[in-house]
Amino acid sequence: MSNPAPAAGLAGTRTSRAAEATARGVLNFSLGLLILAALWWLGGYMISINPKTQSFAGFGLIPTLQSFPELWNLGKLQNAITASGYRLGTGMLIAIAIGVPIGIIMGRSKRFRELSNSSFQFLRMISPLSWMPIAVFVFAAWDHSIIFLIAIASVWPVMFSTAAGLAKVDPAWFKVARNLGATPVQMLTQIILPAISFDIFTGIRLALGIAWVVLVPAELLGVTSGLGYAIKDARETLSYDHLTAMVLTIGVIGYVLDTCCALLVKRYSWHRGDA
């Protein structure tokens, strides 16, 4: 009869190590933020005590934090986040809806991959913001132009990550599925998508980083809402505390979105240590 004590001890050791790793991660995260905040406060203090730069004291940490309640009460913060979130979400959904199917076709069809690779690589290397003049002519609304820029910037990481993930799948899986009478829909939902979920979410994470970088400069042109517009408006009105508050908001939202994608990537990774 097997002794459950070693198994229980091993489970306890794993739990203890996981708790230590979590505590270490939280500590490092907190210390990193404290160091960054201290450097920001020091820089703001140096600016505020210099007569030549006192007018820029709003860039400091304390004025920035104090401006958040004002921005919230005025509704500027919520409106900017809502407008930018809509554009980002719509553009990413379009990129995923286009990138994943084409990536699957690239991964499954060698002929299609060879024919499309050069064209896709050429288009991928064009800066997303360079499409702005064309987008303005094609789309009647600025919102649609920005969504187009986000989509065209985000589609390539999703597409190529999907294709790369499918190329790594053992072809024997598909043979077995066909021999068992799997339909194309079953092949897609039960073989392909589960096998490449890790790669899809990795591509989405990369695409999200690119889209977030493209979104803000795109909103500096033409629109009257969004985080990019809020930064432009704060600059023109010399509200430096509002400007840095919006920059801080962009950083926080971007970090949260990237963390969510990282958790999804880890969730669907086949190489987790506890698997």
What's the pLDDT at 275? 37
Domain residue spans in the chain? 1-57, 60-267
- The residue among 56, 36, 32 whose CA lies nearest residue 44 is 56
CATH of domain 60-267: 1.10.3720.10
Identify the pLDDT of residue 266: 83
What's the pLDDT score for residue 218? 87
pLDDT at 87: 93
Residues 26-55 have pLDDT tens digits of: 888 888 889 988 998 888 888 888 888 777
Residues 48-66 as b/e (b if ≥16 CB within 10 A, e otherwise) read: beeeeeeeebbbbbebbee
CA distance linking residue 258 with residue 265, whole number of Å: 10
What type of residue sits at position 7?
Answer: A
**Which residues of the chain are under the pLDDT cut of 50?**
1, 271-275
Q: Give 233's contacts (C-beta < 8 A, 6+ positions apart).
A: 239
